[in-house]
Structure 1
Amino acid sequence: MEAANNSKKEERFTHPVRTRVTLSVYQRLEKLIEKGDCHSIGEVSRKILSNEQIKVFHVDASLNSVMEELALVRKELKAIGVNINQITKAFHSSRNESSKSFYALKVAERYETVGKKVDVLLEIVSQLAEKWLQRS
């Protein structure tokens, strides 16, 4: 336990380093903050100086429309699910058989809609898989 505490003490940033850089270097460091996993110029500088990896994230703008479509399908499926729950509640509180049959038909219609949405999702996933596999 004591060895772990000693190593943590050694890892603390106790020695300040100050420097000046050109505008272009500073802008490159800022880009690393925007696109990477660092939150400050100091953190970027420390990782560079200590030869640590900086994870840079790339956003594929071509996927924006696909993600919007997926979000829309998700929203629609959630609404259908809420509607099915409401119909189910009405079914269980209904006392006569004709009402129960009506609610059962309504639920069947909603599940048919779910099937169509799942088909849309499968098509989107298929397109994504083709795009992804082309990169490999």
Structure 2
Amino acid sequence: MEKQDENRSKTLLTRLKPAEYKYIYTSFKKTRFNKLSEYCRSILLSKPVVVTYRDKSMDEMLEELSLLRKELNAIGNNLNQAVRQINSSHGNADNRLWLNLLSIIGSKVDPAIHQIKERMQSFSVLWSQKLKPGEASSVQ
């Protein structure tokens, strides 16, 4: 069996109208190809072309969710620091009162924060299209 020439040495020159080029270029931008020549080669050789879809209206929502996640982490960290500080100063009656209040608040807030984080993660996975279309319905 002969070894095939791996270099692309042949050129195919095609002239297009501006509208045709615009159509091909916008189709190319929707794919995962880095170069227009790769896209055209795949189309001409009848190879599969993976087209991506991104809902750009969700970009602002994802950014907001990311900021919300950071804020929730900061709240949790502040709550933990307060509890550690109270635990480190033993004996005061005021400290015991604050410790009881913080433990009650923590027991109510922690599950809610955890649930919010899980939902945010599932939405970000869905919106960034890390899932295949068939798996999207299972994230809810």
Q: TM-score range by the shorter chain?
A: 0.5 to 0.7
1:81 aligns with 76
Q: Percent identity?
A: 22
The reply to whether residue 37 of structure 1 matches residue 37 of structure 2 is no
Distance apart, 1:39 and its partner CA: 1.0
Q: Secondary structure at the match of 1:14?
A: coil
1:106 aligns with 102
Q: Structure 2: which amino acid aligns with 1:15?
A: S
Change (3 A) 1:100 1:29: farther
Which of 14, 17, 39 does residue 20 from structure 1 map onto?
14
Change (3 A) 1:51 1:111: farther
Which protein, 1 or 2, shows the higher relative CO under an 8 Å CA cutoff with sep ≥ 6? 2
User: Which range moves more in the overlay, 94-103 or 115-124?
Assistant: 115-124
Let me know the Cα RMSD of the aligned residues: 3.7
- What's the TM-score, normalizing by structure 1? 0.60
Change (3 A) 1:93 1:76: same
Distance apart, 1:87 and its partner CA: 2.4
The runs of 5 or more residues in structure 2 that have no matched partner are: 127-135
Counterpart mapping for 1:88-127 below 5 A = 88-96=83-91, 98=93, 99-117=95-113
Q: Secondary structure at the match of 2:47?
A: coil
1:3 aligns with none
Query: Across the two proteins, how many residue pairs are aligned to each other?
Result: 121
Q: Structure 2: which amino acid aligns with 1:59?
A: R
Q: Deviations over 1:31-77 (max 9, x none)?
A: 13322101111111121122222221222355456535533442332
Higher helix share: 1
